[in-house]
């Protein structure tokens, strides 16, 4: 993981996600927006967003096969102090981690009530 991208891994044949986590320090609605972006080589990556362990977004990106190389997200959630929002990148369906570096940008801001 770097400041600009996430790269998943494997342990044996088990996929290992690269995850960035945001933890709320307030209660109320938030707007979550951003983008995942990867390349066309390899078998692609799975990208997802989880709010308190509940999946809110999931896409397979890159790797050729007609899959898009980027996807934007923009949605609203109500959070409480301690709510976690995870941005995950998984190895593609072949569990091949070559070419899996994925840029992720996200903005989380308080939404009007």
Whole-number Å distance between alpha carbons of 111 and 113: 6
φ/ψ region of 100 (left if φ > 0, alpha if ψ in -120 to 50, else beta) reads alpha
Asked if residue 9 belongs to a domain, the reply is no
Q: Is 3 within a domain? A: no
**Closest by alpha carbon to 6, among 35, 41, 26, 31?**
35
Please provide the average confidence, as pLDDT, over all residues in the chain.
94
| Residue numbers of the domain that contains 66 | 20-110
Position 6 in a domain: no
CATH code, domain with 86: 2.60.120.40
- Judge whether 79 and 24 are in contact, CB under 8 Å: yes
pLDDT of residue 67: 83
Q: How many domains does the chain have?
A: 1
Q: Is residue 12 part of a domain?
A: no
pLDDT in tens, 15-30: 999 999 999 999 999 9
């Amino acid at each position: 993981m770097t400041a600009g991208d996430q790269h998943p891994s494997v342990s044996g044949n088990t996929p290992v996600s690269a995850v960035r986590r945001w933890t709320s320090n307030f209660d109320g609605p938030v707007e979550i927006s951003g983008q995942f972006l990867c390349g066309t080589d390899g078998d692609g990556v799975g990208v997802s967003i989880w709010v308190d362990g509940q999946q809110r977004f999931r896409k397979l990106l890159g790797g050729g096969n007609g899959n898009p190389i980027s996807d934007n997200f923009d949605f609203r959630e109500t959070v409480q102090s301690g709510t976690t929002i995870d941005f995950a990148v998984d190895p593609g369906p072949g569990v091949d981690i070559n070419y899996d570096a994925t840029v992720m940008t996200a903005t989380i801001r308080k939404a009007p009530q």
